[in-house]
Amino acid sequence: MFKQLTFPQDSTRDMAQYYTEENLFTPDEVLWIENNISQVPTESGTVERGDHSEDYSLRRSDIKWLRYDMYPEFDWLYNRIQQSIEKANQLWNFNLYSTPDHIQHTEYHSGGGHYDWHMDIGAGALSLRKVSVTVQLSDPNSYEGGDLQLLRSPDPETAPRGLGQVVIFPSYMMHRVTEITKGTRKSLVLWVGGEHYR
């Protein structure tokens, strides 16, 4: 069951752009998220090999799924993020109507935490993703490495990483999180989509 969303449409398109906005969440709101996240079980965020073993070469992280059907106290997060997506979608004018996934709380820790180059689209349910959202939950001075980088040209571009900052980009854009060398990087991740790219 998808969470239904309504987005205004616009005539402009710039398919290689990304959108960023400072202070989507205030420091107090980030603290509230961190204080209330402990009830949600943690999973290993990695890639599974064909033999069902975990492959850490592409990704190593810890994740929690903020299911809106199980944790209604987090529903306001969806509403706040939607407001930012409405602004961002003026760049691309995608036909957006749902979140095919729940919000993911992600932690990358020193000692190998990373997510190598990838796109957020793929086969099956992943084909519904059109827009990828990342919200920074860590003070940028509390960790080293862990940069969100976007590949819009031959040279990777490092996205801003302020506390509470949101970065929104098309799900087909190649991106990565570089390896954490000190501390922990925390973020919220969400994907928004529809049936077809148009």
Q: Compute the distance between CA of residue 54 and CA of residue 81 in angstroms, rounded to an integer.
A: 31
- Whether 163 shows a pLDDT value over 70: the answer reads yes
Q: Which helix or strand (DSSP H or E) is residue 191 part of?
A: strand 184-193
Paired strand residues for 145: 180
Instruction: Bin 78: left if φ > 0, else alpha if -120 < ψ < 50, else beta.
Output: alpha
What single letter denotes the amino acid at residue 74?
A: F
Strand partners, 192: 131
Question: So what's the pLDDT on residue 14?
Answer: 60
Give the residues across from 157 on adjacent strands: 150
Tokens 């976007």 belong to 150
For 65-88, the pLDDT digits (tens) are 999 899 999 999 999 999 999 999
Residue 148 carries which side chain, given as an amino acid letter? Answer: L
In this structure, are residues 164 and 135 in contact, taking their beta carbons and an 8 Å threshold? yes
128 or 54, greater pLDDT? 128
pLDDT at 127: 82
Other Cβ atoms less than 10 A from the Cβ of 26: the count is 11
- Enter the DSSP assignment of 2: P
- Write out the CATH class of domain 3-7+17-40+58-193: mainly beta
**Rg from Cα positions in the chain:** 16
**pLDDT value, residue 10:** 47
Q: How confident is the model at residue 55 (pLDDT cuts 50, 70, 90)?
A: confident
Please give the DSSP secondary-structure letter assigned to residue 141. Answer: G
Report the amino acid identity of residue 100: P
Residue boundaries of the structural domains of the chain? 3-7+17-40+58-193
Per-residue confidence (pLDDT) for residue 126, from 0 to 100: 79
| CA gap 76, 163 in Å, rounded | 18
E-only strand ranges, the chain = 3-4, 19-21, 43-45, 47-48, 54-55, 59-66, 98-99, 103-109, 114-118, 129-136, 144-145, 148-150, 157-158, 166-170, 175-177, 180-182, 184-193
Look at residue 177 and tell me whether its pLDDT is greater than 80.
yes
Q: How many CA atoms lie within 13 A of 115 on its CB side?
A: 22
Distance between CA atoms of residues 21 and 81, nearest Å: 11
